[in-house]
Amino acid sequence: MPRPSPSAGAVPTLACALLLWGMVPAAADPIEDPPDPAAAAPAATPEEEAYDPLFDDEEPAEDVNDPIEGTNRAVLKFNDGVDRMVWKPVSKGVRKVVPSPARAAISNAVWHLDMPSVFVNDLLQGRPALAMRTLARMLINTTVGLGGLMDPAAAIGLERRESDFGTTLGHYGVGPGPYLVVPFIGPATVRDGFGGVVDSLMNPLTYLIGPGGDLILGVVFLNFGRGIAMQERHRFELEAIREGSVDYYSALRSLYLQSRDAAIRELQEHHAKRASGKRVGSIGGGPRAAALARSPGGPSKLRRPRP
């Protein structure tokens, strides 16, 4: 009796994925209201005209919820030490030993495992069309892409995108809470830290080591792989942030909080336009700055631009 071909089982799955992709309309560019030419900027007050930020010694205070700044600064210093002694050397060694195509394949596989979390968050954020595109991308890359080692879905318009539970909570009105710097992880808030745990629970890699207490080791292993990938992608940008900041801690904190607020605001504006009847396009998971904000001092699961 002839043995069935190993690829025969992937054909129905691939057909379903292509059907899902075909059912989702291509995202259109958002239509913005044209600016009102009659609207004029309000006249500046005498105080505003006299203010020159270049020669003013006092800077406006930044409204940041950071009650344990001293501890956070110490943790950031520790994370930077881990970054210098672990992530950088490992990333450098990987670049020397592993060829570029193999590094890209490993990176693709690591981020491919986040697709279940992206799919669930798309649904929770009320974006069913994007959820269907995520599902189609996941099925295509799992089958044709050999478990996510390759990215054939991007070649047909299903680009990688991000969505996380912290953004989902922010969309429904949950405040960020105090700012934190988590050991081995990096900048976060209470809301985003909880969201990161939920996202990790939807990642199959978390459970490969074993159930129960070994779940923590799974999360650590997951972040280890992400940390290497972050150093591989953003090593030059991270050095620029470190060297170009007078107060590295404050610059990193501001960059992270602004990028997270922008991701939530982008999602809310998307829903506001849809509710008003305007045509809206697909949105991503926040600006690229979020990836850089989460990277220094340790790995992170958030905001990973495509290599």
Q: Which token pair is 252?
A: 């990193």
**Domain assignment of residue 20, yes or no:** no
* Domain total in the chain: 1
Compute the Cα dihedral for 96, 100, 101, 103 and give only its sign.
Answer: positive
pLDDT at 275 over 90: no
3-state secondary structure at position 139 = helix
User: What pLDDT, in 10s, does the model give residues 64-104?
Assistant: 899 999 999 999 999 889 888 987 787 778 778 888 888 88
User: Residues near 28 by Cβ (< 8 Å), separated by ≥ 6?
Assistant: 279, 280, 281
The residue behind tokens 């490992």 is 90
- Which of 22-31, 50-59, 89-98, 294-303 is modeled with the greatest confidence? 89-98
Cβ atoms of 155 and 306 within 8 Å: the answer is no
Q: What is the model's pLDDT at position 282?
A: 52
- The answer to whether the CB of 171 falls within 8 A of the CB of 196 is no
Element of type H or E holding 270: helix 248-275
Assess if residue 87 is contained within a domain.
yes
In a domain, 44, yes or no: no
Confidence bin at 19 (pLDDT 50/70/90)? low
Q: Which residue has the tokens 């004029």?
A: 40
Distance CA 166, CA 169 (A): 5
Mean pLDDT comparison of 41-50, 183-192, 260-269, highest-scoring range: 260-269
User: What confidence score (pLDDT) does residue 166 get?
Assistant: 95
The residue-averaged pLDDT of 7-25 equals 55
Residue 225 within any structural domain of the chain: yes
| Dist CA 182 CA 237 (whole Å) | 21
In 3D space, the residue among 284, 287, 240 whose CA is nearest the CA of residue 259 turns out to be 287
How confident is the model over 109-156, as pLDDT tens digits? 878 988 999 999 999 999 999 999 999 999 999 999 999 999 999 999
241 in a structural domain: yes
Whole-number Å distance between alpha carbons of 50 and 61? 19
Cα 52 → chain centroid: 37
- Which DSSP helix (H) or strand (E) runs through 187? strand 186-189
pLDDT band at 57 (very low <50, low <70, confident <90, very high): very low
Residue 56 lies in a domain: no
User: Under a CB-based contact definition with an 8 Å cutoff, are residues 300 and 229 in contact?
Assistant: no
> Please, are residues 191 and 178 in contact by the beta-carbon 8 Å criterion?
no
Cβ atoms 151, 160 nearer than 8 A: yes
Instruction: Judge whether 47 lies within some domain.
Output: no
9: enclosing H helix or E strand = none
Report if residue 46 sits inside a domain: no
CA distance 278 to 280: 6
Range of the domain at 239: 65-294
R_g (Cα) of the chain, nearest Å: 22
